[in-house]
Amino acid sequence: MKNKTSYRNMLLRVGSFVLVLATPALALDLHDYDDDLMRDLDRTIKFFEPDITAQNASAAKEDAAILLEGFRYTEDYFGKKGVADAVAISRDGSKLVDVVLRNVEKGDFDSAAAAARDTTQVCKSCHELYKPRLAR
């Protein structure tokens, strides 16, 4: 009897903790986010590393410009909503794209590709928290 009660209490505590963690993302109204921009970013991030790996500097720079615009928009958007972790994620993404651009300029496509992979992970980390479930 005591084990069942302890187990149930533990599940309730864990469930409550998960709910508390998820509540900010669930309560956040994203209706005014630029969906067209997000679709452009989703398409662009898929080509970012392949363009770099192919050593296509021109395409990589075009991709980077789109991604930087998106990270800046997202930083501003979430800044206005007071969502500090999303702002930090956006800034991290911008910094990684800057690293990519510097490495592409130097012709160091291996380092640029590694930073592009990291950029993709930054996007995914934000999507896990804030991208509406129906849009996934």
Q: How far apart are CA 53 and CA 63, in angstroms?
A: 13
For domain 31-135, is the CATH number 3.40.50? no
Structure confidence by residue, pLDDT tens digits, 40-60: 999 999 999 999 999 999 999
- pLDDT-wise least confident of 26-30, 66-70, 77-81, 82-86: 26-30
Structure confidence by residue, pLDDT tens digits, 79-135: 999 999 999 999 999 999 999 999 999 999 999 999 999 999 999 998 888 876 545
User: What is the pLDDT at residue 19?
Assistant: 44
User: What is the pLDDT at residue 8?
Assistant: 56
Residue of 73, 52, 59 whose CA lies nearest to 119? 52
What residue ranges do the domains of the chain occupy? 1-28, 31-135
CB 52 within 8 A of CB 112: yes
